[in-house]
Amino acid sequence: MSDLIFDWNERRLVSMLGKNPITVVDETLRDGVQSPTVNDPELDQKMELVRMMDRMGIGVVDVGLPGAGARAKEHVLELVKLIRDEKLSIVPYCAARTLEADIAPVADVQHETGHPLEVYAFIGSSPVRQYTENWTVQTIADISRKAIEFGVRQGLTVAYVTEDTTRSRPDQLRVMFDTAIEAGAARLVLCDTCGHSTPHGVRQLMQFAVDFVDSSDADVGLDWHGHNDRGLALTNTLMAAECGAQRIHGTALGVGERVGNTSIDQILVNLKLLGLWPHDLSCLGDFVRLAAKACRVPLPYNYPVFGEDAFRTATGVHAAAIIKALDRGDSELADLVYSGVPAGQFGIDQVIEIGPMSGMSNVRYWMKVRGIEANESKEKALFAAAKLSDRILTDNELMAVLDRGDAHV
């Protein structure tokens, strides 16, 4: 199909995409369930979600915040045992405030399971947080150093998370980053905690962070963690990867506080379409649907790729083009002629319906796939019924029209 589509998404400018492997980090089971609307899944549901994450090649999973209480710690413990016992490749980590009291339960889980754990220790970094908490930059640095050194002594891999990085001053970030690296942090996590950033802002912050790490000569990784308050989470996350983030974070369906995080399923779809995800995503739809059920959140009808209407049309012009492609026996062409995402690549089929915006091609296709013999009077009856309707007609309604031989619904 390369001769039929000119792809402006190809990377012709300076980009880090494809130069280094990208690791996707799933935050569904911790940051995702912090939404007041989202239900914390049951343990068996969490286990199945983790298995699916591993199957799809997701590299790292936040299994919870064990310092939050007994239920949280129990779930964390059982999920780490699952990863250990089933020999999954996915790396577990736990979130924690930059406090020994939060990090100690993570160390306990690592000691009890004998399985390596990472800890992502977070603290607010922006001037607005400093003012609200009555902190100074030195206060943040001192708290961070003590916590990171404690985690390292416990044998944990520590990532240093600066909350609200996208509204933080570069001179102050340098102090915090220097402190974290000196204390033994293995990763720096840049957070758009309030969904403030634009793609241009992401590019500038990432360039600052990449330059900082290069100049420090330290073996430190960079993560991007985004939120969707301005509707830019996915775009910002892809921009962060393009600018050098090696780990990018997301949650199933983008669940999370306020309007949520970056949608991890949309990250995976886009990496796949960019040729940067070699793993099998055939269970991604099942993952999305299980996450929706487990978190008790609806899957919007217009949700990208996995929403009910993602590959469903009743518009005459659109349907006619898809049908012409299918008549050629070319399902790949049918997927692309009116869609930016190939449905078949994700185990989904194009669906053509009949409604007031339909053409006669919709009617003929609908009859053909149901094995109904072509007949001009039947076609006209269905077409007339569609034009009299204010919505898509159901199969039962259309069959009733055929049975009666008139346009009445």
Nearest Cα residue to 40 out of 30, 49, 48:
30
CATH number for the domain formed by residue range(s) 23-295 = 3.20.20.70
The answer for residues whose C-beta is within 8 angstroms of residue 39's C-beta and 6 or more apart is 33, 294, 295, 296, 297
Q: Where are the domains of the chain?
A: 23-295, 312-404
Three-state DSSP state, 176? helix
Amino acid at 24: V
- Residue 41 carries which DSSP code? P
- Round to whole Å and give the CA distance between 88 and 101: 29
Helix axis angle, 360-369 to 316-327, nearest 10°: 50
Report yes or no: 124 and 173 within 8 Å, Cβ to Cβ: no
Residues in the chain: 409
- Round to whole Å and give the CA distance between 369 and 380: 18
Sign of the Cα pseudo-torsion (234, 235, 240, 242, in order): positive
- Round to whole Å and give the CA distance between 169 and 140: 14
Three-state DSSP state, 367? helix
Amino acid at 25: V
- Which pLDDT tens digits describe the chain residue by residue (409 residues)? 556 555 655 655 567 777 788 999 999 999 999 999 999 999 999 999 999 999 999 999 999 999 888 999 999 999 999 999 999 999 999 999 999 999 999 999 999 999 999 999 999 999 999 999 999 999 999 999 999 999 999 999 999 999 999 999 999 999 999 999 999 999 999 999 999 999 999 999 999 999 999 999 899 999 999 999 999 999 999 999 999 999 999 999 999 999 999 999 999 999 999 999 999 999 999 999 999 999 999 999 999 999 998 888 778 777 778 778 778 877 778 777 778 888 888 888 878 888 888 888 888 888 888 888 888 888 888 889 989 899 988 889 889 888 886 656 6
Three-state DSSP state, 109? helix
Report yes or no: 190 and 205 within 8 Å, Cβ to Cβ: yes
- Round to whole Å and give the CA distance between 338 and 371: 25
